[in-house]
Structures are given as structure tokens and as C-alpha cells.
Amino acid sequence: MRLTTGARVAALILLVGASGTMAQTKMPSQGSSTAPSASSVVKAPVSGQIVVQDANTILARDLVGQTVLAPDKTKIGSISDLILSKDAKTVEGFVIGVGGFLGIGEKSVAMKLDRLQMTQDTKSGGLQLTMDVKKDELANTPSFKSRRDQEAERQAFERARSQPQPGGGMSSGGAKPGQN
């Protein structure tokens, strides 16, 4: 069963409220033969666990899909992914879809996270994302290639190189992708 964000928040509030109530529940006296029930046991977080989101943090799901605006408030594109370090200590950047129409012809551009400004939208109360770059500038940059994209490109190059060519010969190979 998938819960909506609102349902998850409500469940978390109920859980936190219930744990406070459980902490106030009287435990049976030591002389009693009745063991505490599972519902009266207070649950403790493990080391490193975050129980409640801090006010100065944001969840990845709140960024992915979010529209990024240029300084003149024109739409640049939408965030499609985040780039995390393998040591799980930093968010290196974000990937934004630029150009195209209804997703057709759109290309991905990756930017360092410090290029993104996050502010509170005064009208909606939601998050507003802006960058100090124009859509045209990003449209004229190289596309972002994920590791998966790079590997698929390499495999396609290898397959093409090993295919027999018309006239009975093998492909001459030529330059590898990205080499000119």
C-alpha cells in the first residue's frame, strides 16, 4: 500500500504523539506478574537515525520535478535527478532537462548544486528554485552523460565495430565516441 505524503506525515504525527503517550504510561509494579505489553514499550532511535525532518532541510522528492527559473523568472527546465557522492556525504549536483517540447528534444544538463538558489515563494508558500543562467546558455552546452549513458554508448560502439561491413570487411573502427 502506497501512502501519500500527507498520509505519511499524519502517520508520523500519530506515531510521535503515541510514543509521548506511551512514555507517560505507568509500568506495572515490580511485584506484578504482568509483563509490559508491546504497546507500552518506548521505542528508541538507533545511532544516526533521523526521526523528524529538520526545518532547514529539504527532501530529494521535493526537488525532483521542480521547475527552475532564470533571473528574469522564465522557465529553464525541471530537475530530473540529483548526483550524490559515492561516500554518501554530499549532493554534488542536479540534472535539469532543458529545451524540447513536452519532453521531446529535451537534453539533460548537470550543474553543481551551489548554482541553485532556493527561496520561499511568497505567493504559494512553496519552494522557488532559480539559477543565474539563462535557458539559451544551457541549451548551447554539452549534454550530461550518466555512467549508464556512457556504458551504453561504449557498448554500442563495440557492437558497431564488430559488425561485418557491406563489401565483406569489418568496420575500420575509426575514432571512439568522444574522440575526434
Number of domain units in the chain: 1
The verdict on residue 89 lying in a domain is yes
Residue 96 counted as domain residue: yes
Q: What is the pTM of this model?
A: 0.62
Residue 164 lies in a domain: no
Asked if residue 24 belongs to a domain, the reply is no
pLDDT at site 105: 79
* Domain coverage including residue 139: 60-147
Mean of all residue pLDDT scores within the chain: 77
What are the pLDDT digits (tens) for 102-120? 667 789 999 999 999 999 8
Four-point Cα dihedral 170, 175, 176, 180, nearest 10: -160
141 domain-assigned: yes
Asked if residue 22 belongs to a domain, the reply is no
CATH number of the domain at 142, please.
Answer: 2.30.30.240
Predicted local distance difference test score (pLDDT) of residue 176: 52
pLDDT one-digit tens code per residue, 81-98? 999 999 989 999 999 999
Instruction: Please give the C-alpha separations between residue 145 and each of 26, 27, 64, 141, 154, in angstroms, as whole numbers.
Output: 59, 59, 18, 12, 12
